[in-house]
Structure 1
Amino acid sequence: MGISFAEPERLTLIFDADNRQEWQNTSAILEQLSLCHSDIIADIGAGTGYFSQLFSEQAHKVYAIDREPNMVTYLQNRFDAAETMAEVVPILSTDENPHLPDDANVIFIANTYRFVHQRPTFLTALKAQSMENARYMIVDFKGSHARVSPEQACEEVEHAGFRITHFDRITCPDHYILQFTR
């Protein structure tokens, strides 16, 4: 049984829960991402906007990208009502095409990579749509909850022509962190 995106408000109980720091170690993820105020970040698979909200406090601009129309509508409503340091722009993507804006220099994919059905096509589009010096980070489940093993994600990223710069299986309790460049 998969996650239903029909009721985004219900998903906030999981995605925006007070205990997210405990189960994902988000502060360590943000530390490893090392955002600068001038960064323009694409949060692919933004969901309810948990990370997009955090990014808005550190980056110049945030693209909150999701392939689920209900989530994009939720994001639009959330960030229209929110006071954020940076502009947050919701974007609808597809499974094969992230619809990445050409000014994003940091691409972040958390708890989403395992849901991408056409990962080689997606990675090819991601590479083609991103700037030459972009930085990328995938954070996803490891262990028994992994639909795509961390090793498989590394292989797919390398096969798509990216270069892995950091791979961390330890920092987060149930997740790995994979950083790469073109």
Structure 2
Amino acid sequence: MKKPLWFLSLTLLFVYSAGGLVFAQQPAPATAADKGVYQYGKAAYDGIGKTYLGREISQVMGHLGAAWLDRPEREQEERTDLLLEALNLKPTDVIADVGAGTGYFTFLMAPKVPQGKILAIDIENEMITDLNKTKNRSKITNVVPVLGTITDPKLAANSIDMALMIDAYHEFSHPREMMTNIVRALKTGGRVVLVEYRAEDPNVPIKPHHKMSIAQAKKEMKAVGLQLKSVYDKLPQQHVMIFQK
């Protein structure tokens, strides 16, 4: 099958999988704060050698792979229309799209929350620039790009109705710290929604460390005080896992 031009050029810089374009990455050295939370070892071909609750953290996709996020076939491959319905958004919701990237899903959600807002969070300045360009071009006023860090999404306490992570959580280099801050930001009754490729299904053509099982997600969310409330499994290849305090 003929590959698009952006794909051919990016293969010089990235390793491609059906789950995305990933940087080759080395594990960060352990710190005193990591003791007892993370373990370090030899990295798998799609991991970083840093393990959290039995799961090796995956390599990450960077801004140079942004074209893959906005590919025309994404809606049909991932059925983003069904995901949008599954979220049951309210007009006044304040949503943190953590790992928003270029804002593909951010700008799909924005019209659904006309009296609310979307906090589009990413850790790369290049992604924030893309988000602002799209916001200005589309004249959508209820999207607020936020530059976070690898440990902190920069959310105020008790400020959000939902934190959404679409194929992003498995790449967090500091999942305990990030989730602790996200949970702190939830309003009473707020939700955390993880959208992850199904690790239980060997037919999902995604690299192993870019998938997550329900059991693993439950274990990691329990560590920060969250319980699984429901799973929506009508997407072709992904779980939609909804957690609450």
**Same fold by TM-score greater than 0.5:** yes
Q: 2:193·2:242 contact (CA, 8 Å) conserved in 1?
A: yes
Q: Does the residue aligned with 1:134 lie in a helix, a strand or coil?
A: strand
1:95 counterpart = 2:157: no
The equivalent residue for 2:85 is 31
Specify the code of the residue in structure 2 equivalent to 1:128. R
5+ unaligned residues in a row in structure 2: which ranges?
A: 1-14, 16-21, 24-60, 200-205
Q: 2:110·2:142 contact (CA, 8 Å) conserved in 1?
A: yes
Per-residue CA deviation, residues 11-62 of structure 1 (Å, 9 max, x unaligned), is: 23x2122211222111121111000111111111101101110111101211
- The change in CA–CA distance for 1:119 and 1:38 in structure 2 (over 3 A counts) is same
Per-residue CA deviation, residues 137-177 of structure 1 (Å, 9 max, x unaligned), is: 11022234342522212210112110111123x32222111
Per-residue CA deviation, residues 103-134 of structure 1 (Å, 9 max, x unaligned), is: 32121110111110111221111112222221
Question: Where is the strand percentage greater, Structure 1 or Structure 2?
Answer: 2
Q: Does the residue aligned with 1:114 lie in a helix, a strand or coil?
A: helix
Distance 1:164 1:145 in 2: 25
Distance 2:90 2:70 in 1: 24
The equivalent residue for 1:5 is 62
User: How large is the RMSD of aligned CA atoms in angstroms?
Assistant: 1.8
Q: Give 2:122's match in structure 1, choosing from 66, 76, 97.
A: 66
Distance 1:77 1:35 in 2: 25
My pick for the range that moved more, 44-53 or 147-156, is 147-156
Distance 2:180 2:146 in 1: 19
- Map 1:55-134 onto structure 2 (within 5 A): 55-59=109-113, 60-84=116-140, 86-102=141-157, 103-134=159-190
Question: Where is the helix percentage greater, Structure 1 or Structure 2?
Answer: 1
The equivalent residue for 2:221 is 157
Q: Which has the higher contact order (CA 8 A, sep 6+)?
A: 1
My pick for the range that moved more, 63-72 or 135-144, is 135-144
The equivalent residue for 1:179 is 242
Q: 1:140·1:176 contact (CA, 8 Å) conserved in 2?
A: yes
Specify the code of the residue in structure 1 equivalent to 2:124. E
Q: 1:100·1:126 contact (CA, 8 Å) conserved in 2?
A: yes
Report the TM-score when normalising by structure 2: 0.67
Identity %: 25
Q: Which has the larger radius of gyration?
A: 2
Q: Does the residue aligned with 2:216 lie in a helix, a strand or coil?
A: helix
The equivalent residue for 1:145 is 207
Specify the code of the residue in structure 2 equivalent to 1:104. I
Report the TM-score when normalising by structure 1: 0.88
Number of aligned positions between the proteins? 177
The equivalent residue for 1:21 is 75
Distance 1:74 1:125 in 2: 25
